[in-house]
């Protein structure tokens, strides 16, 4: 070539030789006259012009361009059918400095991948989507695409696409232009040099926008598929210009940076802070051990009575006393039906099943729970019932029943909310499973509102006092007069 001035050469964004291919390493696998070759060239040249090659990650789809990574000397990720915008989203967010391109065909983007493209566009992902629309599935052998024209004969529309059966061709640019977030949407065609130069500018503009952090851009490229169309390459191009362009009007559908409302500020935490671990806090060498004892408790009542919280307080107390503990809430739809219960196991040994079918203690915060669960209490167990007396005709002869009107006491203290704390105090006093001061320290650590904390202190005292003064040792208010 001596003596000739090089005025145009292959973009260095392409490999010199396509060594990832087994054979024919100096040509692409695309058919003669295929639009993919042109689109590849436009992208490669734009990457070179903008100096983006090293930063680029190309996401190639399922379709004829599945092997784009044979050609582009950039980072390459090949993805599942239709999911390029999802994968591109995560690639870009993982490395915001990278330039991420989703390269998709019409079946990939406009059929199986409609959800992904709409949502990536709506999130305003800072990626470029190059959407090659040739109105047909090329790689799989010429099936109908969502962009196939009315009357277009394909292997799966043998009489031509029928509007009554398959609907009308899907207009992706128009669809996405209905969203507020995208920055740039344009449809171009690869039918003649003039339009290819327009396409070149559109591709470069999209990449420039991403380089500048400008948001989501999509360029739809109307492209010939001579093989599937059974057309001469020149005729196929002409078909794009005369037929495809009529169905899919060219133009800019969006060209402005969206104005987005400001984001709330997210607090920055260290890992230890996030994990709620006090770094450097000394391990308690010799744990303060009060008298504690193993216990299984079921707490049941209405939602809103602090049932689950009461169980958590009990569990937290046992944790601080270096016991093993499990807390298991009632589960599923029941949570929404107004009832709630939880199981708490306190133990000095490793705990087996957290599901307590036969509790040693039942705390029944309402009558329904008393009826529902009393029979399950073990022989010699304890039932704490939130009332001054048992319902008429009720008995559970295997257990000791103590009536503690926790809700009434809480009302007198000024808040029905602390009925659970009144009952917790009664439970501690009756069972002596854990020291009461442990409950106070847990409340101090968890209740931030000083007024509520004071109320909780009063509730603890009231619950304890009630058991000490109102309940005779060994006395039980069973309707049948039975007493322990």
Partner 1 sequence: MRQLCKGNVAIVKGAVLAGCRAFYGYPITPASEIAEYAALLIPEVGGTFLQAESEVSAINMVYGASSAGMRVMSASSGPGLSLMQEGISYIAGSELPCVIVDVVRGGPGLGNIAPEQSDYFCIVKGGGHGCYRNIVLAPSSVQEMFDLTILAFDLADRYRNPVMIMTDGYVGQMMEPLDIKMRKIEQPEKDWAVKGNAETKKNVITSIFLESDVLEAHVNKLEAKYQLAQELETRCEEYLTEDAEVLLIGFGIVSRVLRSTVDQLRAQGVKAGLFRPITLWPFPSRELCKTAEHVKSVMVVELNTGMMVQDVKLTLNGTVPVEFYGRTGGNVPAAEEVTAQVFARMSALV
Cα angle 184, 190, 192; round to 5:
125
Asked whether 276 and 215 are in contact (CB, 8 A), the reply is no
Q: Which of residues 70-89 bind partner 1 (CB under 8 A)?
A: 73-80, 83, 86-89
Q: Is 262 in the site for partner 1 (CB under 8 A)?
A: no
In the three-class reduction of DSSP (H, G, I as helix; E, B as strand; rest coil), residue 127 is classed as: coil
Helix pair angle (450-470, 436-446), 10° resolution: 160
Of 197 and 445, which has the nearer Cβ to partner 1?
A: 445
Q: Are strands 99-105 and 128-133 parallel, antiparallel or unpaired?
A: parallel
x/- string (CB under 8 A) for partner 1, residues 347-386? ---xxxxxx-xx----------------------------
264 counts as binding partner 1 under rule CB under 8 A: no
Pick the binder of partner 1 from 12, 16, 27, 90 (CB under 8 A): 90
Closest CA to 409 of 426, 422, 424, 398: 422
Does residue 119 bind partner 1 (CB under 8 A)?
Answer: yes
Does 12 sit near partner 1 (CB under 8 A)? Answer: no
Answer yes or no: are the C-beta atoms of 146 and 112 closer than 8 Å: no
Q: Least distance in Å: CB of 359 to partner 1? A: 11
> Which run of H or of E encompasses 459?
helix 450-470
Residue 483 interacts with partner 1 (CB under 8 A)? no
Beta strands at 324-329 and 382-385: parallel, antiparallel or unpaired: unpaired
Is the CB of residue 258 less than 8 Å from the CB of residue 149? no
| Nearer residue to partner 1 within complex by CB, 15 or 394 | 15
The mark string for 37-56 relative to partner 1 (x by CB under 8 A, - otherwise) is ----------------xxxx
**Closest distance of CB 317 from partner 1, Å:** 10
| Residue from the set 64, 91, 199, 362 that interacts with partner 1 by CB under 8 A | 91
Shortest distance (Å) from residue 255 CB to partner 1? 26
User: Can you tell me the distance from the alpha carbon of 483 to that of 320, in angstroms, rounded to the nearest whole number?
Assistant: 36
- Helix or strand run (H / E) with residue 370: helix 367-373
Minimum CB separation of residue 14 from partner 1 in Å reads 13
Comparing CB distances to partner 1, the nearer of 124 and 241 is 124
C-alpha 347/C-alpha 7 separation (Å) is 83
Q: 113-145 burial by CB neighbour count: b if 16+ within 10 A, else e?
A: beebbbebbebbbbbbbbbbbbbbbbbeebbbb
**Under DSSP, is residue 20 helix (H, G, I), strand (E, B) or coil?**
coil
**Least separation in angstroms between CB 16 and partner 1:** 14
* Shortest reach from residue 377's CB to partner 1, in Å: 14
93 binds partner 1 (CB under 8 A): yes
Interaction of residue 326 with partner 1, rule CB under 8 A: yes
139 part of the interface to partner 1, by CB under 8 A = no
Interacting residue with partner 1 among 11, 98, 210, 407 (CB under 8 A):
98
- As measured in angstroms, the least distance from the Cβ of 450 to partner 1 is 23
Which region, judged by CB under 8 A, interacts with partner 1, from 154-162, 249-257, 263-271, 449-457? Answer: 263-271
Name the pairing type of β-strands 184-189 and 361-364.
unpaired
Which C-beta is closer to partner 1: that of 324 or that of 432? 324
Considering only residues 271-310, where is the footprint of partner 1 by CB under 8 A?
271-279, 281, 283
């Amino acid at each position: 070539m001596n003596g000739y001035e090089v005025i145009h050469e292959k973009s260095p964004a392409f490999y010199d030789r396509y060594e990832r291919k087994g054979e024919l390493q100096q040509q692409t696998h695309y058919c003669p006259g295929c639009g993919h070759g042109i689109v590849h060239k436009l992208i490669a040249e734009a990457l070179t012009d903008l100096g983006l090659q090293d930063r680029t990650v190309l996401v190639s789809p399922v379709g004829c361009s599945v092997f784009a990574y044979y050609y582009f000397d950039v980072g390459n990720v090949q993805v599942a059918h239709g999911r390029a915008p999802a994968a591109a989203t995560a690639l870009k967010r993982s490395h915001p400095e990278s330039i991420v391109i989703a390269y998709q065909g019409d079946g990939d983007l406009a059929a199986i991948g409609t959800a992904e493209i709409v949502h990536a566009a709506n999130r305003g992902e800072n990626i470029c989507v190059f959407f090659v629309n040739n109105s047909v599935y090329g790689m799989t052998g010429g099936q109908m695409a969502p962009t196939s024209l009315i009357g277009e004969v394909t292997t799966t529309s043998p009489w031509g696409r029928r509007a009554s059966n398959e609907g009308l061709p899907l207009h992706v640019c128009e669809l996405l232009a209905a969203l507020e977030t995208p920055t740039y949407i344009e449809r171009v065609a690869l039918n003649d040099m003039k339009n290819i130069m327009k396409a070149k500018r559109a591709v470069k503009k999209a990449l420039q926008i991403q380089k500048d952090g400008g948001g989501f851009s999509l360029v739809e490229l109307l492209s010939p598929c001579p093989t599937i169309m059974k057309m001469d390459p020149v005729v196929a191009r002409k078909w794009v210009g005369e037929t495809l362009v009529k169905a899919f009007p060219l133009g800019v559908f969006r060209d402005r940076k969206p104005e987005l409302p400001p984001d709330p500020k997210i607090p920055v935490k260290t890992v230890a802070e996030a994990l709620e671990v006090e770094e450097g806090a000394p391990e308690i060498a010799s744990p303060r051990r009060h008298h504690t004892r193993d216990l299984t408790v079921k707490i049941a009542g209405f939602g809103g009575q602090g049932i689950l919280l009461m169980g958590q307080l009990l569990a937290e107390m046992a944790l601080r006393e270096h016991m093993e503990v499990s807390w298991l809430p009632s589960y599923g739809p029941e949570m929404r039906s107004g009832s709630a219960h939880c199981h708490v196991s306190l133990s000095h040994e490793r705990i087996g099943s957290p599901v307590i079918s036969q509790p040693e203690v039942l705390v029944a915060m309402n009558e329904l729970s008393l009826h529902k669960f009393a029979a399950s209490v073990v022989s010699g167990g304890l039932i704490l019932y939130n009332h001054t007396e048992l319902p008429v005709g009720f008995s559970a002869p295997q257990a000791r029943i103590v009536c503690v009107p926790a809700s009434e006491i809480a009302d007198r203290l000024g808040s029905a909310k602390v009925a659970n704390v009144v009952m917790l105090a009664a439970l501690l006093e009756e069972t002596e499973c854990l020291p009461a001061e442990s409950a106070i320290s847990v409340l101090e650590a968890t209740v931030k509102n000083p007024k509520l904390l004071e109320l909780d202190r009063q509730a603890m005292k009231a619950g304890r006092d009630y058991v000490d003064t109102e309940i005779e040792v060994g006395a039980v208010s069973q309707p049948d007069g039975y007493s322990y």
